[in-house]
Amino acid sequence: MYFTSDKGKLNAIYFPLTANPAGYHHLLLAECVLRQFPQTELIVFLLSNGLHPDPLKNQHIPQAAIRLQILRSALSDWSVPEKSIAAQIAEESGTKLKLQQTNSAVSNYELSYQRPLRLAEHIKNLSGTEKVAIIVGADLIERMLNPKIFTKSDLMTIAQSSHLLVAPRNDSKIEPMLELLKQRSEVALTTTLITPSVLPQKLHKYLLISSTLIRRAAQAGHSLNAFLPAGAAKYILLSSMYELQNKSFAEPEPQLNEFELRCFELKKELNKAVKKLQKLLDQRAAKKLPHRFAVVETSTGGQITVELTSSSGASEHFLEGRILYCNEVQKQFLRQSSPDISSVSKQHAEKLARQLLDSTTADWTLSETGMAGPPSAERRSQKNGQCHLVLALSPGVKYKYLELNPFFTRNEHQLLFAIEALKWAEKVLNNQQEITK
């Protein structure tokens, strides 16, 4: 597909996006495409007017002028190492980013419409004698299976006039979805999977960012420099544009923003995990089986202990919770003068669990150690979202490793670590015939 500019016709690829807000994940997809298809001369970002054609989506979206400013700022800073983590990593890897202001453009023609514009309409407007190349997400392919979102006519237009470049997602299997779509609608799409392997390895994790995660991070007060270039990150934080934004007009708790609503949901899940564990321990106690336990927390910041002590009847089983948040206190607890292993490791979690088991009358102990919160520009750790769980029993120890999306907020990581720890402990104990100290 060709795009007409003051340089004549350019071989162009189009990228429709809401940009709420634009982030490294969007720009990295464009970077992937330029590397995977070197004949591409121009990436055209098609900015949405914010009126979503999907009836299942009903979000409050900032004004187009604001989203446009953030996108343009992000593109301007994208390849500047002083303003972009992606550019820093590329430079350290001995390469340069290909996406530049000279081979990218932002189209705002959709802003002239006062109604939702469907993907099929975009394709009709853009296609000529050749199929138009469009960057889409795997989630869009999944939504094509829903006839309430994509009509048969839409799918026929997309199949006949476009070549979809599909951004992969770990939890989405593209080929089975395409085959199912073909069976249901008798439509065969022309697709190519975008391959992140063309990027330096250290940039891959930044594809895990989403606009939702950026909004939650802003609402949680995190620095956004790990999510998008410096100028755009600063604009979002200074304008507080997402501070009071609701997830949806249809949400039952409209006073909660996206981050608060997410934490509210996770806390309900944590409470459910506590009750399930407590029910098992009640059963063990009734059978005269060992059931008393203690917990040592580091990265969860006391989430497990707080939820346990808030549950009626927990004192029948729960003896104590140690919250060892900083490394210095952890060393004192382990009676170490200096750390001989990483504080975020299986070995460290095992030492914590064993030490607590030896120092209490508990039948078993649970420890966790991890790194909560997203990466920062100052500290590009590879351990964000990782957590090590150890259950110390008299016969030995059990171990589990967690690796979550590194760009979740600190509170989300803490709550998810706590939920997984309790669910896992309940599963281990349920399979344990008898615990003796």
Task: Work out the angle between the directed axes of helices 24-36 and 85-92 (0-180°, nearest 10).
Answer: 40
Q: Which of 239, 269, 292 is the last residue of a domain?
A: 239
200: nearest Cα among 87, 302, 279: 87
Burial letters 318-343, b for 16+ CB under 10 A, else e: bebbbbbeeeeebeebeeeeeeeeeb
Are 198 and 326 contained in the same domain? no
345 in a structural domain: yes
Are 226 and 270 contained in the same domain? no
pLDDT at 89: 96
Asked if 227 contacts 211 with a C-beta cutoff of 8 angstroms, the reply is no
305: nearest Cα among 316, 292, 295: 295
Q: How many residues does the chain have?
A: 437
Are 176 and 314 contained in the same domain? no
pLDDT at 284: 94
Are 190 and 326 contained in the same domain? no
Are 285 and 213 contained in the same domain? no
307: nearest Cα among 225, 418, 389: 418
Are 288 and 144 contained in the same domain? no
pLDDT at 424: 98
Question: Which amino acid appears at position 136 of this protein?
Answer: V
Per-residue pLDDT tens listing for the chain (437 residues): 444 444 444 599 999 999 999 999 999 999 999 999 999 999 999 999 999 777 666 667 899 999 999 999 999 999 999 999 999 999 999 999 999 999 999 999 999 999 999 999 999 999 877 899 999 999 999 999 999 999 999 999 999 999 999 998 776 689 999 999 999 999 999 999 999 999 999 999 999 999 999 999 999 999 999 999 999 999 999 988 897 654 444 444 557 899 999 999 999 999 999 999 999 999 999 999 999 999 999 999 999 999 999 999 999 999 999 999 998 899 899 988 666 788 999 999 999 999 999 999 999 999 999 999 999 877 767 899 999 999 999 778 999 999 999 999 999 999 999 999 999 999 999 987 544 44
Q: What is the pTM of this model?
A: 0.90
Residue 108's CB is within 10 A of a number of other CB atoms, namely 16
Taking the CA atoms of residue 64, residue 70, residue 74 and residue 76 in that order, the dihedral angle to the nearest 10 degrees is 90
At 382, which CATH number?
Answer: 3.90.950.20
Q: How many domains does the chain have?
A: 2
- CA–CA distance from 219 to each of 22, 65, 133, 258 (Å)? 16, 21, 35, 8
253 in a structural domain: no
248 in a structural domain: no
- Could you list the residue range(s) of the whole structural domain that residue 91 is in? 2-239
Are 175 and 76 contained in the same domain? yes
Kindly state the tokens that stand for 128.
């000529």
Q: How many angstroms separate the CA atoms of 68 and 48, rounded?
A: 10
Q: Which of 181, 211, 239 is the last residue of a domain?
A: 239
pLDDT at 249: 43
Are 276 and 218 contained in the same domain? no
232 in a structural domain: yes
381 backbone dihedrals φ, ψ, rounded to 5°: -70, 150
78: nearest Cα among 92, 69, 88: 88
pLDDT at 248: 47
Asked if 168 contacts 199 with a C-beta cutoff of 8 angstroms, the reply is no
pLDDT at 321: 97
Q: Which of 187, 211, 239 is the last residue of a domain?
A: 239
Are 283 and 397 contained in the same domain? yes
3-state secondary structure 402-423: EECCCCCCHHHHHHHHHHHHHH
Are 280 and 189 contained in the same domain? no
pLDDT at 247: 46
195: nearest Cα among 187, 185, 204: 204
Are 324 and 413 contained in the same domain? yes
Q: Is the peptide bond before 252 cis (omega within 30 degrees of 0)?
A: no
297: nearest Cα among 271, 325, 318, 317: 325
At 142, which CATH number?
Answer: 3.40.50.620
pLDDT at 88: 96
